[in-house]
Amino acid sequence: MRNLRDASKFALSTVKIEDVGARTGFDYLWSLMDGYLNDMIDLATKTVLTKPTSDGRYWSERLGGADVWTKHHLFSMIQALRIANPD
């Protein structure tokens, strides 16, 4: 759980909506927010899955389906952190 939270916080502090807007434009809010969330989820997923765990293995080696479900768990964690800390 700590890995998910830490990766989500990292993504929230790293991905800038201005950078996404430069790519998607700012006129269509749905596209902007979709790109913003996807960029955060992709970064957090990469962070979690490429960092060795406490026993030296990767999550994909320790937990079946980690490569498939991590992004869904990170979406929920990112949204929870955004609600808890809307700044």
The pLDDT tens digits for 14-64 are: 999 999 999 999 999 999 999 999 999 999 999 999 999 999 999 999 999
Number of domains in the chain: 1
What single DSSP character describes residue 59?
H
Nearest to 32 by CA among 15, 45, 55: 15
0.85 exceeded by pTM? yes
State the burial class of residue 7 (Cβ atoms within 10 Å of its Cβ: 0-12, 13-18, 19+).
Answer: buried
Range of 33's domain?
2-84
Task: Reply yes or no on whether the pLDDT at 77 is more than 90.
Answer: yes
CA 6 – CA 72 distance, rounded (Å)? 16
